[in-house]
Chains A and B, each alone.
Chain A
Amino acid sequence: MANVSVLNLSKNFGTTTALDRVSFQFEDGKFFALLGPSGSGKTTLLRMIAGFESPDQGSIHIGGKVVDHIPVEKRDIGMVFQNYALFPNMNVQANVGFGLRVRGISGSEMKRLVAEALELVRLSGFDNRQPDQLSGGQRQRVALARAIVTKPRVLLLDEPLSALDRTLRLEMEIELKRIQRDVGITTIFVTHDQEEALTMSDQIGILNEGQLVQHGSPVDIYENPQSVFVARFLGEANLLRGQADGKNVKLEIGGTVKTLSKPAYPQVICSIRPEKISIQKEQEVHRSNGNRVAGRVNEHIFNGTSLTYLVQCGNLVVKVFVQNLSGEVIPPNSSVHLFFRPEDTLVFPDA
């Protein structure tokens, strides 16, 4: 177990910049998600920590020691690949025991450690199966057992759940989190799935175009995005353009709203999460404090536990999530008012 830190990492592939001066501290024993769209550099960062790519600039420390010139096979890492990369010419036991045999551990000691690892991933008794006799979820567990059986200092996961169907993925998210907690290993997880990142990790780092744009706990990043990109990439956000008007913002779709912080630029974008908006029919409005925007219901999507309204406000469609408290649905074409608190109205410069 060890903490991992990267300092000022940069990497170019030809003329494209994969990573641009990324610095980050991965604390010992925590679960980190690197989240970003494809091409954001998250996989490059993971492969650099593993040692498969070398940085053009900057350095990587594992357990307080520089590893820049240490090859992959000497870095003492565990890695799970997107397609699991199980060795097809070996059975489950030989796959999981591979790293042990390389380290000179064989015979009964190897068998004991392999059995322990398989028990941890709940695959006891699968020792003699061949990889092609396993389901996707089972292969995933074997790959995980193989990566942790050598007790590496850091566990690297490259989109390990993306090949699984939804039900299995949700199950594996919980399993992976449990195993990580049991083993207490520093884990770095690359994903493009925001839900995965939110539910599993202690810390999230968001990458865009090779830069680490924000990092923090899931709640922190979700509630306090520092840019329009983060607000849109992690969760959903309604983006309303407007002009700064003293302490307030005059919206393009009509109306003036108060924002969390004083708008610092003349042209701004306000971001409001769909679940932070409440909706009321025009004739039943009984609330007047906070921000208010008028609109007309385009359509609603009924999910049972909740409702999603698409509300036309000027030339913009605003999304509103409502908990199904009353069992009442506002029909399309109704005139409505949308209410949201100034604290939930985040303001960003309009680029």
Chain B
Amino acid sequence: MNQRAAILSLITPAYLWLALTILLPLSAMLYYSFLSDVPIGNREVSWTTENYRTFFEKAFYSELMLRSFKLGAEVTSICLLLGFPCALALAKSIRGRTKEALFLLIILPFWSNALVRIFSWTMVLRGNGILEYSINWLLPGTGPLDLMFTYPAILLGLVHSYLPYMILTCYISIDAIDNQLLEAARSLGAGKLTILFRLIVPLALPGIVAGSFLIFIPVIGSFMEPRLLGGRNGTFIGTIIEDQFTAVFNWPLGAALSFIMMGLVLLILFGFSPLVRRLK
């Protein structure tokens, strides 16, 4: 009984906090999503499902949703392709001081404000900016790159922001793989590629899946990078939702779109859950 009280006292503060900060605002938003207007002042509001119907009636929204999911998939894939080899080298080949220094470099982006980071990208990418200037200096006559306000610029900014998550989650699961397993595979005649694809990748899958979700979910709802680096090309479901709250002042539609996005993400999570369960 004593132990039970101890456990309760350990977990209650955290769960209470989560309930207050997540469930309460979320229920408020759910409430808004079924209203006809923002209930401020003397506006007349009524219950409606119109906000949800809008999404399915106007192709514009589902196209944007698809575009956001595509962005999420691309950013996640690039992060995986860049992050996994890096995590592998950090976990299995690099030791001591060098490893510490390299880890510091990975975590460095977390120390700066996201807005500052994105704005500094605009300095690099804009016409006659740092990137164009340097390339033209190295290879005269390359001409303008026109990267600013393009889809690749958004990818660049998002990969920059989210790559550390993939490296860190993959590192943790690769580091946990016993070196004797890899030695055993070598003693049985396995080459490097066989070891990578039949042992390391399957055993690191929990880290890969965790990293992918940590990146995919925020990326599909992202609005800062698309807006600042994408300009006219930066319209995604995240920026539309932000517009509903800050510019158009249509909170009910913004809330409904948010819940539709959340529902789709949950569907994907459920789709992956058999895979995740198999890993345990």
> Which residues of B in the span 197-222 have a Cβ within 8 Å of any Cβ on A?
198-199, 202-203
Q: Does B185 contact A (CB under 8 A)?
A: yes
The reply to whether A85 and B188 contact each other, CB–CB distance below 8 Å, is: no
B188 with A81: CB separation less than 8 A:
no
Partner-binding segment picked from A95-103, A109-117, A328-336: A95-103
Given known contacts A85-B178, A87-B181, A98 and B190 CB-to-CB distance under 8 angstroms: yes
**Closest Cβ of chain A: how far from B229's Cβ, in Å?**
40
In the complex, chain A residues whose CB is within 8 Å of the CB of B141: none
Question: Separation in Å of the B173 CB from the closest CB of chain A?
Answer: 12
Q: Which of B178, B189, B202 is the one whose CB lies under 8 Å from A102?
A: B189
Point out the residue from A74, A85, A89, A150 that lies within 8 Å of B184, measured CB to CB.
A85
Chain B residues with CB below 8 A from A146, complex form:
184, 188
Contact status B203-A79, CB under 8 Å: no
> Please, how many angstroms separate the alpha-carbon atoms of A87 and B198 in the complex?
10
Question: Nearest Cβ distance between residue A155 and chain B, in whole angstroms?
Answer: 10
- B190 touching A85, Cβ below 8 Å: no
A82: nearest chain-B partner, CB-CB: B180
Contact present for A50 and B187 (CB under 8 Å): yes
Contacts of A99 in B (CB 8 A): 188-190
Size of A's binding interface in residues, CB under 8 A:
25
- B184's nearest neighbour on chain A, judged by CB, is A85
Q: How far is the CA of A71 from the CA of B188 in the complex (A)?
A: 12
A102 and B180 in contact, given A87-B199, A88-B203, A89-B202 (Cβ under 8 angstroms): no
When C-beta atoms are compared, the residue in chain A nearest to B180 turns out to be A85
A103 touches B189 (CB 8 A): yes
Does the CB pair A102–B184 fall under 8 Å? no
Let me know if B180 and A87 touch, CB within 8 A: no
Contact B181 A85 (CB under 8 A): yes
CB neighbours of B202 from chain A (8 A) = 89
Q: Does A195 contact B (CB under 8 A)?
A: no
| Complex: chain A residue closest to B203, CB-CB | A89
Per the 8 Å Cβ criterion, residues 293-324 of A in contact with B are none
From B178, B181, B187, contact of A72 by CB (8 A): B187
Closest to B179 in A: A85
Contact residues in A for B178 (Cβ distance below 8 Å): 83, 85
Are A102 and B203 in contact, CB atoms less than 8 angstroms apart?
no
Asked if A160 is at the interface of the complex by the 8 Å CB criterion, the answer is: no
Name the residue in A50, A76, A85, A156 with the highest tally of chain B Cβ atoms < 10 Å from its Cβ. Answer: A85
Within 8 A of A (CB), among B140-197: 178, 180-181, 183-191, 194
Q: Please give the distance in Å from A133's CB to the nearest CB on chain B.
A: 14
Given the interface pairs A74-B189, A89-B199, A103-B189, the reply to whether A81 lies near B194 with Cβ below 8 Å is no
A81 touches B189 (CB 8 A): no
Q: What distance in Å separates the Cβ of B245 from its nearest Cβ neighbour in chain A?
A: 46
Q: Which residues of A contact B181 (CB under 8 A)?
A: 85, 87-88
Q: Are A98 and B188 in contact (CB under 8 A)?
A: yes
* Residues of A with C-beta under 8 A to B190: 73, 98-99, 102
Judging by beta carbons under 8 Å apart, are B184 and A73 in contact? no
- A74 nearest CB neighbor, chain B only: B189
Q: Which residues from 49 to 88 on chain B have a C-beta closer than 8 Å to any C-beta of chain A?
A: none
Q: Is A265 an interface residue when CB atoms closer than 8 A count as contact?
A: no
Please name all residues of chain B whose beta carbon is closer than 8 Å to the beta carbon of A72 when the two chains form the complex. 183, 186-187
Give the chain B neighbours of A225 by CB distance below 8 A.
Answer: none
Give A91 to B111 CA distance when docked, in angstroms. Answer: 45
B188 and A102 form a contact (CB under 8 A):
yes
CA of A72 to CA of B191, assembled, Å: 10
State the B residues within 8 Å of A (CB).
178, 180-181, 183-191, 194, 198-199, 202-203
